[in-house]
Amino acid sequence: MDLFFKPEKIFEFLQIEITTKCNLGGCIMCPRTYYGGRWKSGDMDMSTYLRISEAFPYTRYIHLQGWGEPMIHEKIFEMIEIGKEKGCRVGFTTNGMLLNEDNCKRLIELDLDLLGVSVDGATKETYERIRKGASFDRLMGNIETLVELRDSSKKNKPRIVFSLVKMEGNIAELPLLVDLAHRYQIEKVVATNLDCSNRASDERNKVISRKRNPFHEKIVDEAEKKADKYGIEFYSYPLLLDETTPVCGSHPLETLCITWDGSISPCVNLSLPVDVIHRMFCGEEFELNPLFFGNVNEESLLDIWGKEGYMEFREKFALREKVGEPHNIFADFFNLKKGMGKTELFRKQMEKHPPPDVCKTCYKRYGV
């Protein structure tokens, strides 16, 4: 190989679902709980993972998680090692129950770059009500061990991120979670949303909406100020649905999702391991089939990325992104009717370039 050849990075990251199994017993907002027996449980074969790894030279970061708990995959450490050897940054999100001392040591030795930990409540009561089968005390004990081992190893990896899915039943604890992060020396707190809504209870639980909610905004604001004071990085996904979001937060133009059996999809919301996805959006029910453009066990990942149907899917978002570029806004500025604001103009432009049909009823398409 030419020593000076550096492959162009095509993917900002690849989301690799190494398992759809989980060691917990049914978190209240998890689609796995909702689908029950319809959920296809499986672990990714090493042969599938090696096929995917052919794309690692073109990838900056790999996230070894989809719908499942990555730490129950018996080959997870080997998978991390392969990703690191091929020059990717590697991370995953975990419920943290299996972060015992041995596992923490191995993650540190392997130079894992990022570890997201799901902490959907800052008190034992809230956390265990939402995360059925998990133990708050065990989680905090495991985090403490991980941080101690990392610090004594003199490494600054993995970077640990606390992640909370904002819901009616836990949003009030977001500022407390920032306090916890400070206490356990966590670098970042991310507050996501319940954007994959499958059942009526998800709709009642979610805090994202078309209308502003000053109470929720105030809580997020308070958490942000605390994080700022502690020097903790903080990001809360918006609460308000925004029609004019050019590209959804799954970043389908620069990433993709590979399911446990090697199928390629633009995102986890379209790759749920079921035959029919039951989706709720703004109180309405929809049914759709998962969307796959190929399987890495039959074609290369790059070939699938270049398929016509997949390119057409991305092109819809690419056009929306283009509309949002400043020179395009100004090009149309002279066509403004008197009194029409920039937001309205932008909205009209976006209406001309709708996203793919399967995205129209997905909360993430609205920037939350």
Q: Which is nearer to ligand SF4, 94 or 250 (CB)?
A: 250
Tally Cβ neighbours within 10 Å of residue 171: 22
Q: Which is nearer to ligand SF4, 22 or 267 (CB)?
A: 267
For the window 258-277, what string marks contact with ligand SF4 as x by the rule CB under 6 A? --------xx-xx-------
Taking the complex as a whole, the smallest distance from the CB of residue 196 to ligand SF4 amounts, in Å, to 8
Q: Which is nearer to ligand SF4, 117 or 362 (CB)?
A: 362
* Tokens matching residue 139: 């989680």
Q: Among residues 39, 40, 100, 97, which one has the least CA distance to residue 70?
A: 97
- As a whole number of angstroms, the distance between CA 263 and CA 265 comes to 7
Out of 248, 256, 277, 301, point to the residue binding ligand SF4 (CB under 6 A): 248
Size of site (CB under 6 A) for ligand SF4: 12
Say whether residue 365 binds ligand SF4 (CB under 6 A). yes
Taking the complex as a whole, the smallest distance from the CB of residue 250 to ligand SF4 amounts, in Å, to 4
Say whether residue 279 binds ligand SF4 (CB under 6 A). no
Q: Among residues 120, 115, 132, which one has the least CA distance to residue 168?
A: 120
Say whether residue 63 binds ligand SF4 (CB under 6 A). no
Out of 51, 73, 131, 364, point to the residue binding ligand SF4 (CB under 6 A): 364
Q: In Å, how far are 124, 168, 172, 191, 344 from 211, measured between CA atoms?
A: 31, 15, 19, 19, 17
Q: Which is nearer to ligand SF4, 82 or 358 (CB)?
A: 358
Spell out where 38-169 has E strands.
59-63, 89-94, 114-118, 159-166
The answer to whether the beta carbons of residues 42 and 21 sit under 8 Å apart is: yes
Say whether residue 252 binds ligand SF4 (CB under 6 A). yes
- As a whole number of angstroms, the distance between CA 99 and CA 77 comes to 13
In the range 155-184, which residues lie near ligand SF4 by CB under 6 A?
Answer: none
* Tokens matching residue 199: 């059942």
Q: Which is nearer to ligand SF4, 29 or 80 (CB)?
A: 29
Say whether residue 245 binds ligand SF4 (CB under 6 A). no
* Tokens matching residue 79: 């998978």
Q: Which is nearer to ligand SF4, 15 or 94 (CB)?
A: 15
Q: In Å, how far are 181, 252, 300, 365 from 235, measured between CA atoms?
A: 13, 20, 35, 18
Taking the complex as a whole, the smallest distance from the CB of residue 323 to ligand SF4 amounts, in Å, to 16
Residues that bind ligand SF4 (CB under 6 A): 248, 250, 252, 266-267, 269-270, 358-359, 362, 364-365
